[in-house]
Structure 1
Amino acid sequence: MGREIIRTDKAPQAVGTYSQAIKVGLTVYLSGQIPLVPETMEMVEGDIEIQIRQVFDNLKAVAQAAGGDFKDVVKLNVFLTDLSNFPVVNQVMSEYFDEPYPARAAIGVASLPKDAGVEMDAELDLGG
């Protein structure tokens, strides 16, 4: 089974030694996204809700470039520098996802690249 590199200009470009996503068969592994605006590669201005929305928009763009969408997400990992923001993640996530929701983990971390308050990665199943 071959690997396909997924790349789109509608999400932030990889700034290190990684790909935006890798597709293996019907599974897509999305790299972590922080709240960078794709056109400027600068952090989005605003509070944690705006950051979370930007991360979801970035993930969605990569998922779509791979031939999927949020309905195909089976696993979502959320990294927060402040776990008290988790209710905001839930509220915003309910606007982007329909039931059944993907499996999910929420991890509190000391810091994220570019001082982001949130980062997320995901796995998609395009066969379901």
Structure 2
Amino acid sequence: MTTIDSYSHDVSGEKEFGFAQAVKVGDTVYISGQLSHDGAGEFIHADDLDGQFQQIWANLQKVLDHYGITRNQIVQDGVFVVNLPENAAAVAAAHLAYFGDHRPTSTTVGVDSLFFPGQLLEINFIANTTLPA
């Protein structure tokens, strides 16, 4: 029997919108779009792409730690970027810096806007717990 284990940051928005930050089903962890919010769930780093990336990586790390996995076990990500033509090089550089030699599958999508004013970035992930860490 497959069990489901969900994880939340316990921040505003999760209960109001009815979602978990991540759900583990079997060996797969599905991670909701991570964005730049602090521990209280307040959006931070408006219009600051680098700051948003750094906070996304920090929020993602909380999810990975909960499941005892590493970034090397991420198999896919989906990157949603406001003004992709202007931000494409910075997005590519940040992705390469974070993942290093590890190469998950990735889809990058340019969007007109995201949920919060000044939000430039949101990234979701899929990880597999049986891969080498």
> Does TM, scored on the shorter chain, surpass 0.5?
yes
Q: TM-score, normalised by structure 1?
A: 0.87
Give the whole-Å Cα distance in 2 for the aligned partners of 1:86 and 1:30.
23
The alignment-based identity, stated in percent, is 26
| Structure 2 equivalent of residue 59 of structure 1 | 60
- Higher alpha-carbon deviation: 118-127 or 32-41: 32-41
Q: Secondary structure at 2:87's aligned position in 1?
A: helix
In the alignment, is residue 36 of structure 1 matched against residue 37 of structure 2?
Answer: yes
- The AA in structure 1 aligned to 2:91 is V
Give the whole-Å Cα distance in 2 for the aligned partners of 1:123 and 1:72.
9
Q: TM-score, normalised by structure 2?
A: 0.84
- Could you list the per-position Cα deviations for residues 30-86 of structure 1 after superposition, in whole angstroms to 9, with x for gaps in the alignment? 001111122462323562111122112212221221221211100010000110212
| Structure 1 equivalent of residue 87 of structure 2 | 85
Gaps of 5+ in 2: none
Q: Secondary structure at 1:105's aligned position in 2?
A: strand
Q: Secondary structure at 2:116's aligned position in 1?
A: helix
Q: Secondary structure at 1:64's aligned position in 2?
A: helix
For this pair of structures, how many residues does the alignment match? Answer: 126
Give the whole-Å Cα distance in 2 for the aligned partners of 1:64 and 1:41.
21
Q: Residue 29 and residue 40 in structure 1: after superposition, are their counterparts in 2 closer, same or farther (change >3 A)?
A: closer
Give the one of 119, 124, 129 matched to 1:121.
124
The answer to whether the 8 Å contact 1:71/1:98 transfers is no
- Could you list the per-position Cα deviations for residues 8-50 of structure 1 after superposition, in whole angstroms to 9, with x for gaps in the alignment? 46xx552521001000111000001111122462323562111
Q: Residue 46 and residue 108 in structure 1: after superposition, are their counterparts in 2 closer, same or farther (change >3 A)?
A: closer
Gaps of 5+ in 1: none
Give the whole-Å Cα distance in 2 for the aligned partners of 1:53 and 1:64.
16
The answer to whether the 8 Å contact 1:59/1:121 transfers is no
- The AA in structure 1 aligned to 2:17 is G
Q: Secondary structure at 1:65's aligned position in 2?
A: helix
| Structure 2 equivalent of residue 74 of structure 1 | 75
Give the one of 91, 109, 112 matched to 1:110.
112
**Please, what is the CA RMSD of the aligned residues?**
1.8
